Amino acid sequence: MATIFIAGGTGYIGRALSEQLMAGGHAVRALARPGSEQRVATGCKVVLGDALDAGTYAHEVASCDTFVHLVGVPHPSPAKAAQFRSVDLASTRAAVSAARSAEVGHFIYISVAQPAPVMKAYVAARAEGESLIREAGLNATILRPWYVLGPGHRWPVVLIPFYRLFELWPHTRAGAKRLGLVTRAQMIAALSDAVAHPATGIRIREVPDIRGALRSR
């Protein structure tokens, strides 16, 4: 069993992932801001620190097998373009620095489906995060969902009939699959699978791969 460091362990995906990993026998260290430690899943080792400052948590990364980076602005929208760089990208830069210094064997990063016709600032920040990982020479799994359905994140379900239609047409099929919806359960399954099967080099998981992770369990 592995020791996993999760940056973003109190969030929409992080808490559920922590519970899943611990149920599988892994030890989880979850980064949390002071005052939010009560949101960490029971059983995790709480690491108090600032996701934007690797110096506040790097000492807890040193003995970990995998670093999972989940930090990001909640409910992304075009109005949050500046935050995509000041939070999403800045936290990724800190995480990559901590993981490289600790010589962590595997880095897991949630990026975003690309290319995409909208949310260009968000896509650009996440793509730049991918570049940081490559430049650092880390072994990494990069997941590229478009929108993750789950509690409090359900409005796109009204688009499902349109997605199904677009997937039938040859000229829109590839884009509809690349920008398709995934569920939180599918994301947790894909992340858990990445933990269980570390990558050598860079491994990309697109929407169809994420959807398939839950079916293969």
- Residue that wins the pLDDT comparison between 34 and 215: 34
Nearest to 209 by CA among 191, 195, 201, 197: 191
Query: Average pLDDT in the 36-56 region?
Result: 97
State the pLDDT at residue 171. 76
66 pLDDT band, cuts 50/70/90, is: very high
Q: Which helix (H) or strand (E) holds 29?
A: strand 27-32
Which region holds residue 25: left if phi is over 0, alpha if psi is between -120 and 50, else beta?
A: left
pLDDT in tens, 184-198: 999 999 999 999 999
| The two structure tokens encoding residue 86 | 């000041």
Radius of gyration of the chain (CA): 17
pTM of the entire predicted model: 0.93
Average pLDDT, the chain: 93
State the pLDDT at residue 90. 98
State the pLDDT at residue 163. 61
State the pLDDT at residue 178. 83
Whether the pLDDT of residue 125 is over 90: the answer is: yes
Whether the pLDDT of residue 216 is over 70: the answer is: no
114 pLDDT band, cuts 50/70/90, is: very high
